[in-house]
Amino acid sequence: MHNSGRPPRGHTAVSRVADHVHLLRAYVRDPQATGAVAPSSRWLAARMVEGLDLGSAVCVVEVGAGTGSFTPVILRAMRPGARLIVVELNRELAGRLRSRFRRAIVIRGSVEHLPRFLAARGCRAADAVISSLPWATFPPALQDRLLHAILASLRRGGRFATYAYFHSSWMPGARRFRRLLYRAFRSVRRTPVVLRNIPPAFVYRCLK
């Protein structure tokens, strides 16, 4: 059984190519739900977990995990005994996540039901939620529902991190989502742009 946060030993260049293929296939089938055509870089993954205090967390949630670019980095930052709950809507991607990350609890479903997913697994509230959801592509009502579910799942003082592509940060959906963050959280900070990602992206770090 694979119990560490690292990808299995067989996660070679061939596996990384397979990740690209699976993510591209998911994008072609439903571009709004997937939002990316290539997995995120390790530099963006490192920036995503900075400042989240994952080492002291009991319950961490990753939403929209895709091929699991961030998952091993999250697991390595967590202490033994802490739980990672991963929510992924795409059936094929969720299946790959289950086979690669045995330490994580992988749920196939919509983030709209996140409070129910956590309650069913004995997690009263998450210490941190890490999101790869393509917020800029979502219609306003869906943005509202998903962010409401995430807020309802976070404990007070919990942390939320999500990223946005620099080139699309002025799209109407991206600007609306940014306003939602500033209204919903006590503190919102934006990191410098991670240029070693395709495309370049930055991270929002939020405190409830």
The region of weakest confidence among 23-27, 72-76, 109-113 is 23-27
pLDDT digits (tens, 9 = 90+) for 142-155: 999 999 999 999 99
For residue 174, the 8-state DSSP code is H
**Is-contact 6 99, C-beta < 8 A?**
no
Average pLDDT over residues 43-64: 97
Any residues with CB less than 8 A from the CB of 201 and at least 6 apart, and which?
40, 44, 163, 164, 165, 166, 193, 194
Question: Which residues touch 118 (CB under 8 Å, ≥6 apart)?
Answer: 59, 61, 85, 124, 125, 126, 153
Amino acid identity at 64: G
Give the model's pLDDT for residue 38: 56
Averaged pLDDT score across all residues of the chain: 86
Which pTM value belongs to this model? Answer: 0.83
Q: Do residues 191 and 203 touch, judged by C-beta distance below 8 A?
A: yes
Domains, the chain, with CATH or none: 13-207 (3.40.50.150)
Can you tell me whether residue 81 is helix, strand or coil? Answer: coil
pLDDT in tens, 62-95: 999 999 999 999 999 999 999 999 999 999 999 9
For 187, counting Cβ atoms within 10 Å of its Cβ (0-12 exposed, 13-18 middle, 19+ buried), the class is exposed
